[in-house]
Chain A
Amino acid sequence: MNVLALEWSAAIGSVALWADNEVVAQESVSYVNGAGATELVQATERARTVAGWSWDSVQCYAVGRGPGRYSGMRIALTVAQHLALPGATPVRAVSSGDALAAEVAAAQPAVAHVAVVGDARRDYLWQRLFTVQNGLVRAEQDWALATWTDWEQALPAETLVVSPDWERLKSRVGDPPAGNWITSSKSPSAEWVARLAVAQLQADTPPEPCHPIYLHPAVAARPA
């Protein structure tokens, strides 16, 4: 299956063209200098040109839906859905954080747990805990907000913790830290979004909605 995957829920976004269990082309974009939709669209075209794919050869679009940066999630989801419209091509949205957990677990299959956390601002983390078995991850809970204290207390010992926001979070990590942190920011990748989407399709998993995962409400306080 030819999959064109897009991911931009963290600082580094990416595009990957995936076929026959491998990446055939990929490009990355970053938020440097106020990059936006134009950069992701151009990266998509570069990757497609490198792969030599026609648009009609794309059989599925995969896209990361966060959680993470609102602008990037919205851009990636909007690009994927509108690339898909003219050909009525299916779009598979997957959690970007799930893709990140799967990538980390594949690299370190011996760990028992992986936690993916991000800076949700307003003194909250967004977070999800995964159990690892044979290098594959299984989510233990939904994506949720947590205070730093509550999250640390609930974290199983020796959990491998990964975050796209390490630079912002590192000043909060205690000594000794809860969990075993990967000490650099790691953005989810389009390659792993594609892998996850294909795996879900093969397992006939019900699709996730093509909306960003927002953990904060749109408005902090409801009107009186």
Chain B
Amino acid sequence: MVKTTSRPNFLDGHSPVRVLGIETSCDETAAAVVVDGVDVRSSVVLSQINVHRPYGGVVPEIAARAHVTALPQVVADALAQAAITWDEVDAIAVTHGPGLASSLRIGITGAQALALRTGKPLYGINHLAGHLYSIWLEPRTDPPETALPMLILLVTGGHTLLVRMDAIGQYRLLGQTLDDAVGEALDKGATLMGLGYPGGPEIEQAAIGGDPERHAFPRGLRHGGEGFCGSLPRELCFSFSGLKTALRYLLQTHPEWAQGAERAHLAASYQEAAFDALLDRIERALAREDVTRLACVGGVARNQRLRAKLEALADRCHVRLYTAPPAYCTDNAAMIAGLAGRMAQTGCPLPSADDSLPNLVLA
């Protein structure tokens, strides 16, 4: 059980609300200034991908070291690019979980020091809630008052969640992965195919021109059944471990398929199986929930094939689709600052940022 205490919302009714956001939950060092929850004045993201690439995944100790080095300049750049002074910042928001403990701690520490020095209120924001909010960083998205309720698929390297959102701050988890996140499955699949890191973009690139039906990979939990996984209906949950294992065995039998023209077919088929599983659960959830709007957020939402499949599904199911702007799909601080600003303006209780909460849940 995580401890989250609310603190007074100093900004209730205040306008404009200029929030400095800080995000260091994993391997991106990010800071942003967002006005009134939607107007992104700056969004600085320093990616560590190159230093983690040789390891095929994020190394927590490398990430923490890099955050310590990078964060002060990233914050300074965010203020400079937004062309506002410290006096003009109304509040500071920082990701306080979930994420890597040693990485979260750097962002929270910096934010606490800034709050002390400037006297600005400091709020802790849930990283997952920030991702869900990222669709409102796209100016064409209907405001929450009219767009909600909504079904949202959150797909990243660390999470795969299906969420019903009824209002800002009101989330109901409908389904989640029982093993790997879809982004993790793509990373590991890419490694097995001899592709680079991060795996999602590598597989997407390798899949160009490939036949997505060439190889029959399993669609995990396709026959979900009636049971429950914890409190979640099994038919809305995901599993990608079988997909990964199937690729491994296939390449043990046919190692040559990881090379040459066949690799495009392999990548396309692997990616298709992962995305089919996502869409299958979305369709089931749409049938259960009385919603007419669907959204997809998170780093994997950048994938063009997934977007095309989601658009087709939305047409077929007569729901409106929203996707996060590509720049705000991967980890960023604009979504943190934006959500904090929105919550502040609408009187939502905002948690304090006293400590890192690596296992913080959404709902």
* Chain A interfacial positions (CB closer than 8 Å to B): 36-38, 41, 44-45, 55, 70-71, 74-75, 77-83, 85-87, 210-212, 214, 218-219, 222-223
B112 and A37 contacting across the interface, CB-CB below 8 Å: yes
B59 to A218, Cβ gap below 8 A? Answer: yes
Q: How far is the CA of A44 from the CA of B113 in the complex (A)?
A: 9
User: B356 contacts which chain A residues (CB < 8 A)?
Assistant: 36
Cβ-closest 9 pairs across A and B:
A82-B113, A37-B109, A86-B86, A81-B72, A78-B109, A82-B110, A218-B61, A79-B113, A218-B62
**Known: A219-B61, A223-B54. Contact between A86 and B117, CB under 8 A?**
yes
Q: In the complex, A222 Cα to B54 Cα: how many Å? A: 8
Contacts of B75 in A (CB 8 A): 82, 85
| Inter-chain contact A75/B117, CB cutoff 8 Å | no
B interface residue numbers (CB < 8 A to A): 54-56, 59, 61-62, 64-65, 68-69, 71-72, 75-76, 86, 102, 105-106, 108-114, 116-118, 354-356
Residue from A82, A211, A219 in contact with B69 in the complex, judged by beta carbons closer than 8 Å: A211
Task: Indicate if the CB atoms of A38 and B59 lie closer than 8 Å.
Answer: no
> In the complex where A214-B65, A219-B55, A219-B59 touch, is A82 in contact with B117 (Cβ < 8 A)?
yes
Knowing A81-B72, A218-B62, A219-B55, say if A38 contacts B112 (CB, 8 Å). yes
What is the bound-complex CA distance between A212 and B72, given in angstroms?
14
Q: Which residues of B contact A83 (CB under 8 A)?
A: 113-114, 116-117
Which residue of B109, B111, B113 contacts A74 across the interface (Cβ within 8 Å)? B109
Report which of B54, B68, B355 forms a contact with A36, defined as CB distance below 8 A: B355
Chain B hits for A218, CB < 8 A: 59, 61-62, 65
Complex Cα distance, B106 from A44, in Å, reads 17
Q: Name the B residues within 8 Å of A210 (CB-CB).
A: 72
- A78–B113 touching, CB < 8 Å: yes
Of listed A77, A83, A85, residue having the most chain B CB within 10 A: A85
Name the residue among B64, B110, B117, B355 with the largest chain A CB count within 10 angstroms: B117
Question: What 20 new A-B contacts, CB under 8 Å, besides A37-B108, A218-B62, A223-B56?
Answer: A37-B105, A74-B68, A75-B109, A78-B68, A78-B110, A78-B113, A79-B109, A79-B112, A82-B71, A82-B113, A83-B114, A83-B116, A83-B117, A85-B76, A211-B69, A212-B65, A214-B65, A219-B62, A222-B54, A223-B55
Q: Which residues of A contact B355 (CB under 8 A)?
A: 36, 38
**Chain B contacts of A80 at CB under 8 A?**
113
Which B residues are in CB contact (< 8 Å) with A78?
68, 71-72, 106, 109-110, 113
Min CB–CB distance B231 → chain A (angstroms) = 30
Complex Cα distance A70/B106, Å?
A: 12
In the assembled complex, which residues on chain B have CB atoms less than 8 Å from the CB atom of A45?
A: 116
